[in-house]
Amino acid sequence: GQLTVYNYSDAGASAGAGTRSGCYRCLYPIRKAKASKTTTSADGCKSCSDHGVLGTVPGIIGILQATEVLKILTAETGTNTTGIMHNRLLMYDSLCTSFMSIKKPPVNVKCSVCGPNATIKSMQDSYESSSLTRGPNALPPPSKDSIQEQHHDDSYKEISCMEYQRIRKSGAQHILLDVRVPRQYEMCSLNGSINIPLEHLLDGENLDIIEASSNGKLPVYCLCRRGIFSVAATKRMDEIIAEGRRKGIHSVYDIKG
């Protein structure tokens, strides 16, 4: 686990003025995926939210975060601010039960978020800049030797959440495929959706359900929790359609986000 305070001004000045610590992107600039023969779909999906965490670690870090918030709030009343974690990064190793505090680098003048020439100024900008850095979209372009094997990627289609909302409001018939795990689907889901977990689609299971529902006429829209599994599901079904194995599936779209 890690703990620090981003974008903090110890002089009480607004961001961009006075003495200010760097933002998240100063410390972790967005890196574009590099082509690699060893890169796989799993390499692009490793994150705490996808693979899980040891439950006690977020609890420990959460308590430290709450304490840091109290320190920041009391600092606004004139209390000494030297102990606030704005220029240090605390790292916790649960396996060795050890803490390590390291000094953070200064504000990055080339930062895409808080630098003078910032390019990320909204949540939409942030989404677009990071959409190709993790998950299935982070995979490098296919090599020349594998272009023939990847021809089905040309048929990949996606729509935004707003576009899908208009489709639902219009009453147009379609198939909404939710590829989350059953536990997440049971917690909340959109009316009329079909739940088939991604792992079952990758194995080719339950495609009869989709084919029968689509009947060669209705488009299929894929939905998941964070927009990663739905990309994989869309591409997998595109492969199946391109191979001519499921002619009853009309077309497949990924719902971005």
Q: Are residues 40 and 102 in the same domain?
A: yes
Q: Are residues 133 and 165 in the same domain?
A: no
Question: For the segment 8-38, what is each residue's pLDDT rounded down to a tens digit?
Answer: 876 544 444 456 778 888 887 766 545 444 4
The stretch 227-239 carries a mean pLDDT of 86
Q: Are residues 85 and 149 in the same domain?
A: no
Question: What is the domain range of residue 216?
Answer: 144-255
When divided into structural domains, the chain yields a total of 2
Q: What average pLDDT is seen over the chain? A: 77
Are 211 and 223 in contact by the 8 Å Cβ rule? The answer is no
For 214, the token pair is 């689509």
What pLDDT is recorded for position 147?
33
The stretch 193-216 carries a mean pLDDT of 82
- CA distances (Å), 116 to each of 15, 88, 113, 180, in order? 12, 23, 9, 40
Q: Residue 12, Cβ neighbours under 10 Å: how many?
A: 11
Question: For the segment 113-155, what is each residue's pLDDT rounded down to a tens digit?
Answer: 888 888 888 877 776 666 555 544 444 444 434 333 433 445 6
Q: Are residues 15 and 120 in the same domain?
A: yes
Question: For the segment 207-223, what is each residue's pLDDT rounded down to a tens digit?
Answer: 888 888 888 788 999 99
**Among residues 235, 172, 241, which one has the least CA distance to residue 202?**
235
Q: Are residues 194 and 120 in the same domain?
A: no
The stretch 185-193 carries a mean pLDDT of 92
Active site residues: 48, 224
Q: Are residues 191 and 228 in the same domain?
A: yes
What pLDDT is recorded for position 170?
93
CA atoms of 108 and 115, how far apart (whole Å): 7
For 231, the token pair is 């990309």
- CA distances (Å), 219 to each of 122, 124, 132, 250, 254, in order? 32, 27, 25, 5, 11
For 227, the token pair is 């927009």
Q: Are residues 223 and 133 in the same domain?
A: no
pLDDT band at 167 (very low <50, low <70, confident <90, very high): very high
Q: How far from each other are the two terminal CA atoms of the chain, in whole angstroms?
A: 26
What pLDDT is recorded for position 145?
44
